Amino acid sequence: MRAPAWLPMPVRRTLRVLRRYFRMGMRRFDRFVAPARREWRRSLQLRVVALTLIASSVLVGAFGFFVAQRSANILLNRAQDEVESSMQSKLRYAASQLSVHLTALEPRLQNTVDITVNALADDDPAESGGSVVSIRADQIPGIQAVTSVKKLDTSGLITRDLIKAVSGDGKVAEQVRTAEVNGKKIKFLVYGSPVPTNFGHLELYYMVPLTTEDSAANQIRTTVLVTGLALVILLGVVAGLVTRLVVLPVRDAARTAQRLSAGLLDQRMKVTGEDDLALLAASFNQMAANLQRQIVRLEEMSRLQRRFTSDVSHELRTPLTTVRMAADLIFSEREDFDPAVARSAELLQAELDRFESLLTDLLEISRFDAGFAALDAEHADLVPIVKRVADRLTGLADRVGVTIELRVPDEPVIAEVDPRRIERVLRNLVGNAVEHGEGRPVRITLACDEAAVAVTVRDHGIGLKAGEERLVFNRFWRADPSRARQTGGTGLGLSISAEDARLHGGWLEAWGAPGEGAQFRLTLPVRSGDRLVAAPLPLIPRDRALDSEEAGR
């Protein structure tokens, strides 16, 4: 996102620099967390343990906080009850001591106040962190406030709000405050109450340290924290062990499945016990055994089928040769026969050619199936090969009214290929395009780059339906089943072409759309044995891509 144009140039430069550093930081962060993210995606055990730890930490933390808070409240309530009871007794004692004075002008009133505070504080060693007693008489001139601990600053304990509640409202008030005693910060529970006297308003403040309660609350919190932490760790260990019991058989099943997919059909899982996992392992082994039997049976049937095809093809060669010799003789003398017999001789010759082509294709397929097909690769120029295929099919194209257009480079296109096989592939592709071209031009395009060479054959005939671009390479598959078997090829041409392309380490792909024709693309590596990554020509025709863009506009 660019900075707005109305911002000053220095500001925009600063924003660009900040954005650049931000992107660099995000990339470094991604590289840093990438291993953890990858491990998180791959490990089921890690996810289960992590989620268990998170959930248990939240639950144990909430429960521990509730227990600690509840315990602290119970301790505070108990301290409040004790202080309130002690406050009542101290209030009665102070009232009885001060009741001997009838006016505030009596000279011994201050002395009585001092004696009363000292008496109330006799059992309260404030210097060691005990309770503190204080009497205030702000509304009576001449009487000074007295505190049992002379060096203690009570301004932080006896606040204005507390004084207002006690002196103004005339009721007992309390609060919790913190003060420093002997260099230590101590939390106090402060109670304040008016003292009933005959000469005016006095206030008694009783401050009790909550050291014991705080210590007990801290111990409870520590105990809850340690117990909760131990419980969370225990839950994590238990979750890890339980998950491991489930994950290990699943991993064993995955490894066994990988070995089975690699062709090691004798691999089986270890069955231990009689639980659900053992049942899973036994079922998996049973499935693997059934698959092995089926695969072996299918391989045997395929082997027999290939052998049957090869044997039949070879056995038919001998009678076909004899029939071919007789048919050639009859065909050469057809001008001396009646027209009907001459026509029969021509049909016989044509069908023998077709039958011989079928036998040749069957023998080639059997060689591919048996793994005997060999690549006789050499450095060849593909331009004359493409032109030679186009020239040989010109007669067929003229008969069906199709024009063959060539788009080949002017310079040579050298690749390490088997020229015989490549010419056969191109002959099949161009021949099919001409037969299905519906009288429209067929375009052959040749292009290359540093790593690959590609040839596309484009027709504008009936095209292919969705999904048929994969079926066209099946053996004996026909795009139009309703067409008579006397037209078209043997149904093996594209299958053999696909095998030839794979033998070169290349691709043979198809594209088509109903009513828009089809395009086949042959892609080969420039150097034999190299791995293909991309093709120099697109599979979808450029004219179709342009039409789609115009329709979208």
Q: How many CB atoms lie within 10 A of CB 76?
A: 16
Q: How many CB atoms lie within 10 A of CB 428?
A: 24
In angstroms, the CA 87 to CA 85 distance is: 5
Q: What is the pLDDT of residue 478?
A: 65
Q: What is the pLDDT of residue 520?
A: 93
- DSSP-derived secondary structure for 345-391: HHHHHHHHHHHHHHHHHHHHHHHHHHT------EEEEHHHHHHHHHH
Closest CA to 427 of 449, 396, 452: 396
Q: What is the pLDDT of residues 459-513, one digit of tens each?
A: 998 888 888 888 888 877 765 554 444 445 567 788 888 888 888 889 999 998 8
Q: How many CB atoms lie within 10 A of CB 384?
A: 14
In angstroms, the CA 538 to CA 507 distance is: 13
Is residue 206 a contact partner of residue 190, using CB atoms and an 8 Å limit?
Answer: yes
| 418 burial via Cβ count (<10 Å: 0-12, 13-18, 19+) | buried
Buried residues in 245-279 as b, exposed as e (16+ CB within 10 A): eebebeeebeebeeebeeeeeebbbebeeeeebee
Give the CA count within 13 Å in the CB-facing half-sphere of 267: 14
In order of start, what are the domains of the chain with their CATH numbers?
Answer: 14-97+218-262 (no CATH), 99-209 (3.30.450.20), 268-373 (1.10.287.130), 378-552 (3.30.565.10)
Helix and strand counts by DSSP (H, E) for the chain: 13, 12
Q: What is the pLDDT of residue 444?
A: 93
Mean predicted lDDT score pLDDT of the chain: 81
Q: Which two tokens stand for residue 315?
A: 């056995």
Note down pLDDT in tens along the chain; length 553 residues.
555 666 777 777 888 888 888 888 888 877 877 787 787 777 777 888 888 888 888 888 888 888 888 888 888 888 888 888 888 888 888 888 888 777 777 778 888 888 888 888 755 444 445 678 888 877 777 677 777 777 777 777 888 888 888 887 678 888 888 877 777 788 888 888 888 887 777 888 888 888 888 888 888 888 888 998 898 888 888 888 888 877 777 778 878 888 877 777 777 877 877 777 788 788 888 888 888 888 888 777 777 766 776 676 667 777 777 877 887 888 788 787 788 888 888 888 777 777 777 777 777 777 776 666 778 889 999 999 999 999 988 888 888 889 999 999 989 999 999 998 899 899 889 988 998 888 889 999 999 988 899 999 999 988 888 888 888 888 777 655 544 444 455 677 888 888 888 888 899 999 988 888 899 999 999 998 888 888 999 988 877 644 444 434 4
Query: Which backbone phi and psi does 437 adopt, to 5 degrees?
Result: -75, -10
Q: What is the pLDDT of residues 153-209, one digit of tens each?
A: 777 788 888 888 888 767 888 888 887 777 778 888 888 888 888 777 788 888 888
Q: What is the pLDDT of residues 208-233, one digit of tens each?
A: 888 888 888 888 888 888 998 898 88
Amino acid letter at 373? A
Strands (E), 449-528: 452-459, 507-513, 517-525
Question: Whose structure tokens read 């088997």?
Answer: 418
Is residue 257 a contact partner of residue 269, using CB atoms and an 8 Å limit?
Answer: no
Q: What is the pLDDT of residue 453?
A: 93
Q: What is the pLDDT of residue 523?
A: 93
Q: Hey, is 135 helix, strand or coil?
A: strand
Q: What is the pLDDT of residue 486?
A: 40
Is residue 465 a contact partner of residue 514, using CB atoms and an 8 Å limit?
Answer: yes
Q: What is the pLDDT of residues 279-288, one digit of tens each?
A: 878 888 888 8
**How big is the CA angle at 384 (ends 380 and 386), to the nearest 5 degrees?**
100
